[in-house]
Structure 1
Amino acid sequence: MFMVGAGAFVAATSVVAKALSLEGGDAAGLSPFQISAGRFAFALVALVLVLKAFPNARPAFSGVHWNWHLFRSLSGWLGVTCMFAAVAHMPIAEATAISFLSPLVAMALAALLLGEAIGTRKMLAAGLAILGAMLILRPGTDAFQLAGLWALSAAMFMGIETIFIKKLSDAEPALRILVINNAIGAAIAIAAASFVWVWPSVLQWLLLMALGTIMVSGQALFIQSMKRGEASLVMPAFYTLLVFAAVYDFIFNQVIPVPAAIIGAALIVSGAMILAANHK
C-alpha cells in the first residue's frame, strides 16, 4: 500500500508539471529546468517545516554516504527534468510507460558492474519492454513522438537512481535520505534553472509549491516501501503509477490512450514484472 500511494503521488507530479509547462493567460510556460528546481526547492521547504514541527524527528548526520547521495541526487535530477520535458509534449500515460524501461537500465548496469548473468528470462523481459516502447514511440511513422526520447532518457537516469536508492535505504534513515537528496537536488536544479529563469505567475508559484510537496510525499512512501519489503515484492505495485497517470490525464487533459499505446504499456509493464520476479 505504501508503494501504491507512491505511484498515485508521483503520477500527480506529472500532471502538475504539464500544467506548468503550458502557457496560460499572460504567463508563459516554464522550462523543465525551472519546474525541476521548484520540485526540489519546495520539497526541501516542506521537509524543513516538518522537522521544525517535530524536532525529535531530526536525523543525525554522522556516517553519511555522501558519494551515494551525490550520484543519487544527480541522476534523480536528470531523470525528473527529462520526465517533465517529456510530459510537456506527449500524453502523460505514454511518457510514464516509457519511463518504466528503467529496470532494464538497472539490469544492464548490474551485468556490467556486478557481473550478473543475463539469462533467457531477462532477455525475454527486455524484448517485451523494448517492443512495447516501439509501439508507443512508433519510429519511422507520422505518429513518432520526439518527446519520447526525453522519456527514454528519464528511464535511463531513473534506473541509475534506483540502484542508489536501494543502497541508501538499506544503510541510512529514511528522513535523512529525503533531506540530503532534496538539499543536493535543489542546489543542482536551481543552478541549472538560473540560466532559463522567468518570473512565475501567482498560479505557477502555487503549482510549484504543490509539486514539491506532492513529490516529497511520494518519495517518503517509496522509501518506506523499499525499507519494509523486498524490491521484487514492492516494485510491481509501483506500476499502478501508469493507471493513475492515465486516469489523471483523462480527467485533467481529456486524453484517451490509443490502442497501440495501451498494448505497448502492457508489454513494458510485463517485462518489468518479469524482471522483478526474476529477483525473488
Structure 2
Amino acid sequence: MSRATNKAAALAQSNNIPLGITLMVLTTFVFAVQDGLSRHLASEYNVIMVVMIRYWFFAAFVIAIAKRHAGGLSAVARTSQPVLQALRGLLLAVEIYVMIVAFTLLGLVESHAVFTCYPLLVAALSGPVLGESVGWRRWSAIGVGFIGVLIILQPGANVFDPAAIIPLIAAALFAVYGLLTRYVGRKDKTATSFFWTGVTGSIAMTAAGIWFWEPMIATDWIYMLCLCVTGVTGHWLLIRCYEVAEASAVQPFAYLQLVFASIIGISVFGEDVRTNVAIGAALIVAAGLFTFWRERQQR
C-alpha cells in the first residue's frame, strides 16, 4: 500500500463520525452513572474523601496512559507552562467537589440542568481570554441560554434556594478549566494536559481529603470501586471518541448526559422535574447546540 493510501486511510479513520457519536453516547451514559454513584456516596460520607479516592484511581490511570507514549512518563510530563497546567488540575478538582455537593443538595436533575450552561460560558469568555471572535449570533445564543438559567434559578421567586447557585459555580469553574485547556494546548500535547490534570488533582485532593477520612462499610466500598471504574472508563471512552471523530461533530451529543442523569435521578433517587427546570434546560441545550453549530460553520 502506498504512503498516500496510508495517509488517506488514517484520515478517514480519524473522522469516523458514526463511531465517534456512539462513543460519545456511551461516554455520557457512563459519566451519568458515575454522577449517580457520587450522589449516593457523598450523601453517606464526606465529599472531599469521596473525591480524593476517585482521584487516586484517576491518577493511576493517567500515569499508565503516559507510560505508553513515546518517551515514557518524563516526556509526557514535560511542559513549559507548569503553573497553568497545575492550575487547570486544581480547578477541575474543585469543580468536581462543588458539583458533587450540588448533587447532594439539589439532586442530579436540577444540578445538571444548570451545569449544562458551561459551553455558553466557554463561548462568552473565549473572546476576552483567548482572543477568539464571538459574533452577534453566538452572543444572542449565549443570552438565550442564560435566560434558561434564570428560569431554572427563579431569582425573583418568594422562596429562592441559594443552593441553586452551586451548580452554576461548578459550570463557571469548568468553563475556565476548558479555556485554560485550550490555551495550554497551543504548546502542550493532549497527553501532557491529561497527565497534569490527574496528578495535580490527586495531590490537591489528597492534601485536603486525608483529614476527612471516614471508615466505609463493605457495600459502599463496592460502590466506590464502581465509581472509580466508571470514572476511568468514561475518560477512556472520551479520549477514544476525540481520536476517531472531530470534536465539533460529536460534542452536541454530550448533552445526553443531562438526559441520562435525569433518568437516574428520577428512577433511583425519586427526584422530579419541575416545569421551570424543563423549560430552562431546553433553552440552554438549544442555545448550546446553536453555539456549536456556529463554531463549526466558522471553522
Of all paired residues, the percent bearing the same amino acid is: 23
What TM-score results when the alignment is normalised by the length of structure 1? Answer: 0.85
The alignment covers a number of residue pairs equal to 270
Residues 127-152 of structure 1, C-alpha deviation per residue, up to 9 Å, x if partnerless? 12111111222123255332222101
Q: Indicate the residue corresponding to 2:52 in structure 1.
A: 37
Residues 27-60 of structure 1, C-alpha deviation per residue, up to 9 Å, x if partnerless? xx22222221122113334566x67xxx867844
Write out aligned runs for 1:40-59 (5 A): 40-45=55-60, 59=72
Alpha-carbon distance, 1:173 to partner: 5.5
Alpha-carbon distance, 1:255 to partner: 1.9
Q: Indicate the residue corresponding to 1:147 in structure 2.
A: 163
Q: Indicate the residue corresponding to 2:5 in structure 1.
A: none
1:132 correspondence with 2:148: yes
Write out aligned runs for 1:11-26 (5 A): 11-22=32-43
Deviates more, 1:129-138 or 1:177-186: 177-186
Alpha-carbon distance, 1:228 to partner: 3.6
Q: Indicate the residue corresponding to 1:84 in structure 2.
A: 100
Q: Indicate the residue corresponding to 2:9 in structure 1.
A: none
Alpha-carbon distance, 1:92 to partner: 0.4
The question of whether the paired residues in 1 share the 8 Å contact of 2:124 and 2:142 is answered with no
The question of whether the paired residues in 1 share the 8 Å contact of 2:152 and 2:276 is answered with yes
The question of whether the paired residues in 1 share the 8 Å contact of 2:27 and 2:237 is answered with yes
Match of 2:75 among 32, 54, 62: 62
Q: 1:169–1:234: structure 2 CA closer, same or farther, 3 Å change rule?
A: farther
The question of whether the paired residues in 2 share the 8 Å contact of 1:83 and 1:151 is answered with yes
Q: 1:143–1:247: structure 2 CA closer, same or farther, 3 Å change rule?
A: farther
Q: Indicate the residue corresponding to 1:163 in structure 2.
A: 179
Distance, in Å, in 2 between the alignment partners of 1:193 and 1:208 is 15
What TM-score results when the alignment is normalised by the length of structure 2? Answer: 0.80
Q: Secondary structure at the match of 1:88?
A: helix
Write out aligned runs for 1:1-280 (5 A): 1-22=22-43, 29-45=44-60, 59-62=72-75, 64-65=78-79, 66-142=82-158, 144-166=160-182, 171-172=188-189, 174=191, 177-280=193-296
Q: Secondary structure at the match of 2:208?
A: helix
Residues 66-90 of structure 1, C-alpha deviation per residue, up to 9 Å, x if partnerless? 4453232111111111110101111
Alpha-carbon distance, 1:154 to partner: 0.8
Runs of 4+ in 1 over 6 A off after TM superposition: none
Unaligned runs of 5+ in 2: 1-21
Residues 255-278 of structure 1, C-alpha deviation per residue, up to 9 Å, x if partnerless? 231221111111111111121112
Unaligned runs of 5+ in 1: 23-28
Q: Indicate the residue corresponding to 1:25 in structure 2.
A: none
Distance, in Å, in 1 between the alignment partners of 2:158 and 2:51 is 30
Distance, in Å, in 2 between the alignment partners of 1:221 and 1:165 is 19
The question of whether the paired residues in 2 share the 8 Å contact of 1:169 and 1:226 is answered with no
Bigger radius of gyration, 1 or 2?
A: 2
CA RMSD after TM alignment: 2.6
Alpha-carbon distance, 1:243 to partner: 0.8
Distance, in Å, in 2 between the alignment partners of 1:211 and 1:241 is 16
Alpha-carbon distance, 1:224 to partner: 2.8
Alpha-carbon distance, 1:158 to partner: 1.0
Distance, in Å, in 1 between the alignment partners of 2:91 and 2:62 is 21
Which amino acid in the other structure matches residue 38 of structure 1?
I
Q: 1:211–1:143: structure 2 CA closer, same or farther, 3 Å change rule?
A: farther
Distance, in Å, in 2 between the alignment partners of 1:111 and 1:177 is 22
Alpha-carbon distance, 1:204 to partner: 3.0
The question of whether the paired residues in 1 share the 8 Å contact of 2:126 and 2:132 is answered with yes
